[in-house]
Amino acid sequence: MKQNRRHFLKKLGATGAAAAISPLVFSEEIHDKNFLERNLAHETADDTPINLALIGAGIMGTEDTNTALRHANVKLVAVCDLYLGRLDSAKQKWGSNLFVTQDYKEILKRKDIDAVIIATSDHWHKQISIDAMNAGKHVYCEKPMVHSVKEGMDVVNAWKKSGKVMVVGSQGVSSLGNEKAKELVAAGAIGDIVYAEGFWARHSPEGAWQYNVPQDGNEKTVDWKKYISNTTARDWDPLRFFRWRNYLDYGTGMSGDLFVHLFSSLHFITNSKGPTKVSSMGGLRYWKDGREVPDVLLGTFDYPQSPEHPGFNLSLRCNFVDGTSGTTYLRIVGTKGSMDVKWEEVVVKLNQNAESDDPFMREQAKLRGASQESRAKILPPREMIYAAERSWKGAHYDHFGNWFNAIRTNGTVAEDPVFGFRAAAPALLCNDSYFQDKFMKWDPVNMKLI
Ligand SMILES: NC(=O)c1ccc[n+]([C@@H]2O[C@H](COP(=O)([O-])OP(=O)(O)OC[C@H]3O[C@@H](n4cnc5c(N)ncnc54)[C@H](O)[C@@H]3O)[C@@H](O)[C@H]2O)c1
Q: Assess whether pLDDT exceeds 50 at residue 5.
A: no
Amino acid at 229: S
The CA distance from 6 to 248, in Å, is 46
The protein residue whose alpha carbon is closest to atom 4 in ligand 1 is 60
For the CA of 124, the nearest atom of ligand 1: 31
- Residue owning the nearest CA to atom 13 of ligand 1: 60
Ligand 1 center to 102 CA (angstroms):
14
What integer pLDDT is reported at residue 34 of this predicted model?
46
Residue 364, pLDDT score: 77
**CA 62–ligand 1 middle distance (angstroms):** 9
Distance 57 CA to ligand 1 centre (A): 7
Taking the centre of ligand 1 as the mean of its atom positions, its distance from the CA of residue 209, in whole angstroms, is 12
Cross-strand bridge partners of residue 55: 80, 118
pLDDT bin (cut points 50, 70, 90) of residue 358 is: confident
Task: Cite the DSSP H helix spans in 75-151.
Answer: 84-94, 104-109, 125-134
Is the pLDDT reported for residue 233 higher than 70? yes
Q: How far is the CA of 325 from the centre of ligand 1 (A)?
A: 27
CA 313 to ligand 1 centroid distance, Å: 32
Report d(CA 26, CA 187) in Å as an integer: 9
- pLDDT of res. 230: 98
Residue 170 CA, closest ligand 1 atom number: 1
Q: What is the pLDDT of residue 307?
A: 97
Ligand 1 centroid – CA 61 distance (Å): 6
Residue 10 pLDDT grade (very low, low, confident, very high; cuts 50, 70, 90): very low
Average pLDDT, the chain: 90
d(CA 399, CA 415): 9
* Confidence band for 9, pLDDT divided at 50, 70 and 90: very low
- Contact partners, residue 74, CB within 8 Å, separation at least 6: 49, 50, 52, 68, 404
List the residue whose alpha carbon is closest to atom 40 of ligand 1.
Answer: 121
Q: Is the pLDDT of residue 80 over 70?
A: yes
State residue 24's pLDDT score: 34
**Of 314, 326, 33, 61, nearest to 194 (Cα)?**
314
Residue among 82, 140, 328 whose CB has most ligand 1 atoms within 8 A, to mutate: 82
Q: Percent of the chain having pLDDT more than 90?
A: 82
pLDDT band at 38 (very low <50, low <70, confident <90, very high): low
Name which residue sits closest to atom 19 of ligand 1, judged by CA.
58
* Residue 54 bridge partners (DSSP): 79, 117
pLDDT of residue 2: 41
- Which of 54, 59, 128, 151 most suits a substitution to test ligand 1, by most atoms within 8 Å of the C-beta? 59
pLDDT at 363: 79
Q: What is the pLDDT of residues 150-181, one digit of tens each?
A: 999 999 999 999 999 999 999 999 999 999 99
pLDDT at residue number 368: 76
What dotted CATH number matches 190-391+418-449? 3.30.360.10
Pocket test for ligand 1, best of 118, 121, 260 (most atoms within 8 A of CB): 121
The answer to whether residue 14 scores a pLDDT higher than 50 is: no
> Does residue 83 register a pLDDT over 60?
yes
Nearest CA to ligand 1 atom 5: 60
123 CA distance to ligand 1 middle (Å): 10
pLDDT at 44: 53
Q: Tell me, what's the pLDDT at 381? A: 86
- Residues 221-230 have a mean pLDDT of 98
156 within 8 A of 132, measured Cβ to Cβ: no
- pLDDT tens, residue by residue, 309-322: 999 999 999 999 99
Residue 251 C-alpha to ligand 1 middle, in angstroms? 10
Per-residue pLDDT, 379 = 83
Give the least confident one: 27-41, 279-293, 338-352.
27-41
Choose the weakest-confidence range: 7-11, 95-99, 228-232, 267-271.
7-11
Sort 326 into a burial class: Cβ within 10 Å, 0-12 / 13-18 / 19+. Answer: exposed
Distance (angstroms) between ligand 1 centre and the Cα of 55 equals 9
CA gap 65, 62 in Å, rounded = 5
| Percent of the chain clearing pLDDT 70 (strictly above) | 88
Mean pLDDT, residues 132-155: 98
CA-CA distance, 143 to 104, in Å (whole number)?
19
Q: What is the pLDDT of residue 17?
A: 34
Residues 345 and 387: beta-carbon distance below 8 Å: yes
Pocket of ligand 1 (CB under 6 A): 55-61, 80-83, 86, 104, 119-122, 124, 142-143, 169, 171, 226-227, 257
Mean pLDDT lowest among 13-17, 324-328, 397-401, 444-448: 13-17
CA of 119 to the centre of ligand 1 (A): 4
Residue 263 scores a pLDDT above 60: yes
Task: Tell me: pLDDT of 67 over 50.
Answer: yes
Q: What's the mean pLDDT in 272-286?
A: 98
- What residues does each domain of the chain span? 190-391+418-449
